[in-house]
């Protein structure tokens, strides 16, 4: 598959089977991420690959965040439901890869560029998943950015989990893609 075709046909695949994915395949996806452009060659990404019972780490983190957000005095039944939902979310795919930014602290490094590099790494990974015939969805949201998520994965306060790539064999037909033409968002500045 050529790169233009991959870009135009890649879709978020939120429903996958629980068929195991070979470690070598995941390593290939991770390696693609490491080839993202990054200023000063800081390589500010950190990957957390969870499969099997390892996904429970994410489930516990999501559950802790849900309980924290429910607040003191929350109804026990509500807490139980939120905890069960959190654990279920961690098992939606056979492999879940957490991707974090660990910004380098140097005067010549702009923190925002570190984030851009990791976002580019995630795109490389998603395109590689697609090219390998697998499906993935990149999930983010408030719990992803919560300090308890950092704590769960041993990240420093200045680091940030930027999302979780849920990877598996597709169990759905993706919708057709649709984008506005670039012309509507482009200003040509010429001499």
- Residue 140 annotated as binding? yes
8 Å CB contact between 102 and 159: yes
Which helix (H) or strand (E) segment holds residue 69: the answer is helix 56-70
- Residue 139 annotated as binding? yes
- Residue 55 annotated as binding? no
- Residue 12 annotated as binding? yes
Q: How many residues does the chain have?
A: 191
- Residue 138 annotated as binding? yes
Which helix (H) or strand (E) segment holds residue 117: the answer is helix 111-131
> What is d(CA 38, CA 129) in angstroms, rounded to the nearest whole number?
21
Summarize the annotated binding site for FMN as residue ranges.
Answer: 10-12, 39, 138-140
Residues that constitute the known binding site: 10-12, 39, 138-140
């Amino acid at each position: 598959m050529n790169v233009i075709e991959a870009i135009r046909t890649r879709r978020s695949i939120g429903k996958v089977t629980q068929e195991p994915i070979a470690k070598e395949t995941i390593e290939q996806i991770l390696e693609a991420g490491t080839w993202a452009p990054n200023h000063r060659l800081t390589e500010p990404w950190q990957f957390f690959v969870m499969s099997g019972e390892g996904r429970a780490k994410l489930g516990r983190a999501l559950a802790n965040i849900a309980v924290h957000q429910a607040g003191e005095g929350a109804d026990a039944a509500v807490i139980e439901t939120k905890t069960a939902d959190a654990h279920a979310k961690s098992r939606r795919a056979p492999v879940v890869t957490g991707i974090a930014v660990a910004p380098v602290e140097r005067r010549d490094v702009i923190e925002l560029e570190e984030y851009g590099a990791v976002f580019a790494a995630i795109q490389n990974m998603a395109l590689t998943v697609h090219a390998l015939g697998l499906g993935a969805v990149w999930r983010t949201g408030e719990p992803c950015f919560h300090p308890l998520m950092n704590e769960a994965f041993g990240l420093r306060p200045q680091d940030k989990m930027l999302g979780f790539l849920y990877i598996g064999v597709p169990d759905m037909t993706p919708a057709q893609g649709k984008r506005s033409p670039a012309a509507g968002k482009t200003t040509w500045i010429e001499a």
